[in-house]
Amino acid sequence: MSRSDLFWLTDAQISRLEPFFLRSHGTPRVDDRHVLSGIIFINRNGLRWRDAPKEYGPHKTLYNRWKRWSDKSIFAQMLVGLAGDHGEEKTVMIDDEAVGAIG
């Protein structure tokens, strides 16, 4: 799959979400843009975590970050931030029931 076939959040979207990204302590984190774009891509395409394109990073990282953000209600806040009235031409939607456990 080519990079152009994948979903990527824009610079403007990422800058609005910056306050939600936790700082790394020790090991460098996989890039938040890659991870969040990957989580959205997986959901939009009905994929299993292990089927995530490698461009988004390790599938376990995608799942673990989604799980951590969901457990702390950060993920829902991110989606509200993306859905806000900011003049976006596209809508980003994700349903946490459609994103299942790692498997």
- C-alpha 84/C-alpha 95 separation (Å) is 17
pLDDT at site 76: 87
For residue 57, the one-letter residue type is G
pLDDT at site 80: 86
Tokens of 4: 């152009």
This prediction has a pTM of 0.73
Tokens of 65: 């970050």
- C-alpha 8/C-alpha 14 separation (Å) is 10
- DSSP annotation of 75: H
Task: Give how far the C-alpha of residue 58 lies from the chain's centroid of Cα atoms, to the nearest Å.
Answer: 13
pLDDT at site 83: 80
Tokens of 12: 């403007």
Per domain, the residue ranges of the chain are: 30-103
Residues of the chain with pLDDT under 70: 1-3, 85-103
pLDDT at site 47: 95
pLDDT at site 52: 95
